[in-house]
Chains A and B, each alone.
Chain A
Amino acid sequence: MEEINALFGGFAVAMTPFNLLLMIVGVTLGVIIGVLPGLGGANGIAILLPLTFTMPPTSAIIMLSCIYWGALFGGAITSILFNIPGEPWSVATTFDGYPMARNGKAGEALTAAFTSSFVGAFFAIVMITFLAPLVAKFALQFGPPEFFSVYLLTFCSFVGMNKGSPFKTISAMMLGFALATVGMDTVTGQLRLTFGNPELMRGFDFLIAVIGLFGIGEILLSMEEGLAFKGAAAKIRAKVVWETWKMLPKYWATSLRSCLIGCWMGITPGGATPASFMAYGVAKRVSKDGDNFGTGKMEGIVAPETAAHAAGTAALLPMLSLGIPGSPTAAVLLGGLLIWGLQPGPLLFVEKPDFVWGLIASMYLGNLAGLFVVLTCVPLFASILRIPFSIIAPVIIVICAVGAYTVHNAMFDVWLMMGFGVLGYLFKKLDYPMAPMVLALVLGDRAEDSFRQSMLFSQGSLEIFFSNYLVGSITSLALLLLFWPLISKVISKKKIAA
């Protein structure tokens, strides 16, 4: 097997003491970034990028990708212990992770999350190692209609899977899309919906929205519920880890399903966030225990965490093999490659095999290092947030303000962040879901581009979304999910009548 030989060559490149040290440093930094709300994988790596310019490219990419793994792991810690998703893809982990932690099972929840993350990532890395050429070929056949149908599927699944009012879900989601259109139109170059305000020309960055909605909004909510910051105790004893590991193989089906969803969503530019939601939704529908999801079920942690890590890892596949990033963080990494004079694409495998296989080998090692670091150091990371609320609240607001400012060095963004904070408080209390809104804000431009290109192909006819088996079946599935609240109502009425 050619790949196995190349991979062992890669291990030889990655396993120098210097690179192993960088892995540990990267993972630790990444976890801290992931734990702190407001600092995320994408902007964390962007900030740290200049530090790596003096290193050899292989070492640099190993450290940066390890920050990425660390951030993926770190998001789960705050989600489970504090109900604050440190990263958008860990929103789905809060649904069952936080209730579990409040029931006194924080150790089990964290172990399940970390282990599933590792399993998801491992699955995706094995896939990258062996399936890279095949998958790349398949994705190359995708045209705009196929891309749009995948976006449609993601967004419709929000409507189908959400417990609350489908109309509120749609309103919140479309608000995200509307905000995403503000600013420069990528196709015509026109300024859209800025109403003459130069500050709006930049548009609404999803990072600002995430910092405001989840950071400030959560602080307002916690304030209302009293000064106690409801963090669950975080200690992982070896025995708990062992007990949890014994339980996890029970969920092999959920795990495998989530791995597949994650890899699929990571390769097509869907990303970790929709993957985690889709995996959670599917697990909820399929599980016998589905009605109890949201009350602290381990399966509800396994599904989103596995998918998020599988997607986060798989997102590097199109970035490496095609030069198309599958996630914002992958896009930042791509920027790094270009700065080091490396042209991502199929030729990279031929011209710089040391680099490519060194990176792939470091994914195996980096994730193993990540699992070790988070399992042993959780109390340390959690203690960052175990400080009394009257200290942590102003400090988080200060860090959020700094985070919002540094995205574009714009004071206006800080005000926007406050606005999103109030909106987040309002939405949470009125059951408007925030995740589809944030996602719409992230994917809005790309969804719009693929829609407009499809419309150009078909001269404005929607039939293009049913023009072949692939796009037709994805679109049909999306519509089925969109009308699921209605369909399930009809079914349950019939059941009552019978």
Chain B
Amino acid sequence: MSEHSNNSNQDSVISVRAMDIITAILFLIFSLVVMIGSIKLGASWGSDGPEAGYFPFYISLIILLSSSVTLYQVAIVNKHKKTESFVDKEPFKQVMAVLFPAIVFVLGVQLIGIYVSSVLYIAIFMVWLGKYRIWKAVAVSIGVSVALYLMFEFWFQVPLPHGSWINPLEFIGVQ
């Protein structure tokens, strides 16, 4: 991102180069995991043709090679190249402000079902980040949940998660 490179480096959480190296290493680890898994399955030629691990083995080999080249390029060839910031502090906080509540929301969906989680998530998000009045946020979030219910469970009869731990809407008939 060119607009971030103008900022001084002290604002940067992590550089693009460091992220590139980390990602390439993650790719390498992934390829080794797939490779070991394929060899365990049998990656050679069985009595009835190629074994189950035959294709994934070569795929993992290609990942191993291509990510090694990427790693070599970013870590050694571009060693002295000036690097940009991957993400600065303020934008990083913003990203986390979306990501973290979203993870809590998914956990909520799993435990108490989609409807109550959605109402809480949308309302809190709107009040906290959007600075909306509480009644507006509650109206929108309940509206979305009701629309979800009507659209999926009522009209199209597609079941949505109601909570594996507790179903808070059991009393109004959401089974």
Instruction: Using CB atoms and an 8 Å cutoff, list the residues of chain A in contact with chain B.
Output: 47-48, 50-51, 165, 167-168, 170-171, 174-175, 177-178, 181, 185, 187-188, 190, 192-193, 195, 216, 219-220, 223-227, 388-391, 393-395, 397-398, 401-402, 405-406, 409, 411, 414-415, 418, 421-422, 425-426, 429-430, 432, 448, 451-452, 455-456, 460
Contact = CB atoms under 8 A, between A and B. Distances in A.
A339 to B, nearest CB: 16
B140 A391 contact: yes
Given A171-B63, A391-B126, A405-B160, A415 B106 contact: yes
Top 6 A-B pairs, shortest CB-CB distance: A390-B130, A394-B125, A224-B91, A170-B66, A394-B122, A181-B56
Contacts of B31: 178
Nearest to A194: B37
A406 B106 contact: no
B164 interface: yes
A178 B95 contact: no
Given A167-B67, A175-B63, A219 B98 contact: yes
A195 to B, nearest CB: 7
B67 to A, nearest CB: 5
Nearest to A188: B52
A402 B37 CA distance: 32
Given A178-B34, A220-B95, A456 B55 contact: no
Nearest to A49: B156
* Range for the number of chain B residues in contact with chain A: 35 or more
Interface string B142-175: 0010001000100011111100100000000000
Given A188-B51, A398-B144, A405-B161, 19 more contacts: A165-B73, A168-B70, A170-B62, A174-B59, A177-B59, A178-B63, A219-B98, A393-B98, A394-B101, A394-B126, A397-B98, A397-B105, A398-B121, A402-B160, A411-B161, A414-B106, A418-B106, A451-B55, A452-B49
B50 A455 contact: yes
Contacts of B158: 47, 406
B137 to A, nearest CB: 9
By secondary structure, the A interface counts as: helix
Contacts of A389: 130
Contacts of A401: 105-106, 109, 114
Contacts of A405: 109, 114, 160-161
B52 A187 contact: yes
A281 B93 CA distance: 37
Interface of B is mostly: helix
Contacts of B109: 401, 405, 411, 414
Contacts of B110: 411, 414
Given A223-B94, A406-B152, A430-B20, A452 B66 contact: no
B102 A224 contact: no
A51 B126 CA distance: 35
Given A190-B41, A395-B144, A418-B103, A430 B23 contact: yes
A411 B94 contact: no
A178 B59 contact: yes
A414 to B, nearest CB: 5
Contacts of B106: 401, 414-415, 418
B77 to A, nearest CB: 12
A391 B56 contact: no
A411 B164 contact: yes
Given A50-B157, A192-B37, A394-B125, A402 B87 contact: no
B91 A225 contact: yes
Nearest to A440: B59
Given A223-B97, A395-B122, A167 B73 contact: yes
A223 B98 contact: yes
B99 interface: yes
Interface in B29-78: 30-31, 34, 37-38, 41, 45, 49-56, 59-60, 62-63, 66-67, 69-70, 73
A252 B93 CA distance: 48
Nearest to A448: B55
B16 interface: yes
Given A397-B102, A398-B122, A401-B105, A51 B156 contact: yes
Given A170-B62, A429-B19, A195 B37 contact: yes
Contacts of A452: 49-50, 54-55
Contacts of A425: 95
B12 interface: no
A414 B99 CA distance: 14
Contacts of B159: 409
20 contacts: A167-B67, A167-B73, A170-B63, A171-B66, A171-B70, A174-B59, A175-B63, A181-B59, A188-B52, A193-B38, A193-B41, A223-B91, A223-B95, A391-B140, A398-B122, A402-B114, A421-B102, A422-B99, A452-B55, A455-B54
Contacts of A411: 109-110, 161, 164
A409 B110 CA distance: 12
A159 B109 CA distance: 40
Nearest to A187: B52
Nearest to A412: B110
Contacts of A51: 156
A178 B91 contact: no
B66 to A, nearest CB: 4
A405 B158 CA distance: 10
B94 A216 contact: no
A391 B123 CA distance: 9
A193 B56 contact: yes
Contact of B67 (A171, A402, A422, A448): A171
Contacts of A174: 59-60, 62-63, 66
Given A171-B27, A415-B106, A224 B94 contact: yes
Contacts of A390: 125-126, 129-132
